Amino acid sequence: MQKRILGKNGLEVSSLGFGCMGLSHAYGPPVDKQAGISLIRAAVERGVTLFDTAEAYGPFANEELVGEALAPFRDQVVIATKFGFGINPDGTRHDLDSRPEHIRQVAEASLKRLKVDVIDLFYQHRVDPNVPAEEVAGAVKDLIAAGKVKHFGLSEPGLQTIRRAHAVQKVTAVQSEYSLWYRGPEAEILPTLDELGIGFVPFSPLGAGFLTGKIDETTRFDSSDFRSLVPRFAPEALKANLALVEMVHEVAQRKGATPAQIALAWLLARKPWIVPIPGTSKLPRLDENLGAVAVELTTTDLGEIDAAAAKIPLHGARLPEAALAMTGR
C-alpha cells in the first residue's frame, strides 16, 4: 500500500483509507459485530492505516466497533473521529453543537469508546452557525496541548470557515463529499487547501455506491438506508444518472479495471494530498477498492474522463434538503 501525507503537519496515512460508517449506520441494518471487526482487521492486514468513524454513527456503536477492532494495531493506524452533533439519551441526534465544553465532553467519551489515549484526527462533523470557527479551533487547540488530540479536521466546511479555523489551529485535513458523482469542492475548496497545505479526504468517493456499477434503474433502497431519501437516487433521477456510470464502465473496460477502481483512481490522480475513504461491508469489495491504487490513469485518460463527464448532466441533489443546509458554511 502506498502512503500519502495529509497536511503540513506530516500526518502519513495509506493512499486509501476505510470509511467505517456503513458498518453501523446509514446503509441499512448494522453488520454483525464480529463480521465488522474481521473486515476492519482485514483492511489493516492489507496495509490500510486510516480509519474514519464518528460518535454520531450509530450513535456511538461505530466508535466502539472501531475501537475494539483496532486495539491490537493501535501503533500502526490513524483513527479519525468527529464531534459536532448533540445526541439525546435515546440515541437520536438533535441540533448541531460545537460549544467548546461539548467538544471536550465528546473527546473524553470518544477516547473511551475508541480505547485510545489520544485521538489522531478530530473533525468538526458539521459547521455550527452558533459557534464561531475561532472558538471551535481554540477548543481543539487546547485538546492538542493537553495531549488528547493530535490533528484538527473540518468536515463539509465552507471557504471562510476553513480560513478562520486554520488561523487559530492548523487544519490537517478537510473531509467533504467528492467524486465524479459530485465535484463541488473543485471550484474553491481544493485551491484553498492547496494554498494552505491542508489534506483532503473525500467521503462517498464512489457516490454512495452509485459509481460501482452495482446500482441500476430497478434498484430500490430500504427505509433504513439514507439513499431512500436522497433526490439523486429517486427513480427518475437514478435512471438519467446511469449515463455517468456507463461512461466510467467504458473507461474501466479499456483499462482492465472495474468502475469502482476507475472512480477511485481518478480521485487519487487529482492531487497527491487526496486520500479517499471508501467504505464497504464486504471483503471482496474491500479488495476491489484497494486494487485502485494499482490503476494508472494517464493525462490523456483523465482528459477524456473529464470531457465525457462534462457532457453528462446529473439529476437531483446529492443530499436531502435538511442535510444540505448543514454543509458548506
Cβ 125 vs Cβ 56: under 8 Å = yes
Q: Are strands 149-155 and 171-177 parallel, antiparallel or unpaired?
A: parallel
109: left (phi over 0), alpha (psi -120 to 50) or beta: alpha
Going from the C-alpha of 283 to that of each of 38, 40, 286, the distances in angstroms are 9, 9, 5
Cβ 301 vs Cβ 265: under 8 Å = no
Q: Do the Cβ atoms of 13 and 275 come closer than 8 Å? A: yes
Instruction: Report helix, strand or coil for 82.
Output: strand
Contact between 197 and 166 under an 8 Å Cβ cutoff? The reply is no
Residue type at position 32:
D
Q: Which of 57, 123, 178, 182 is catalytic?
A: 57
Instruction: Return left, alpha or beta for 4; rule: phi > 0 is left, psi -120 to 50 is alpha, else beta.
Output: beta
Residues 6+ apart with CB under 8 A from 197: 7, 8
- 57 assigned to active site: yes
Strand partners, 200: 174, 274
Catalytic residue numbers, as ranges: 57
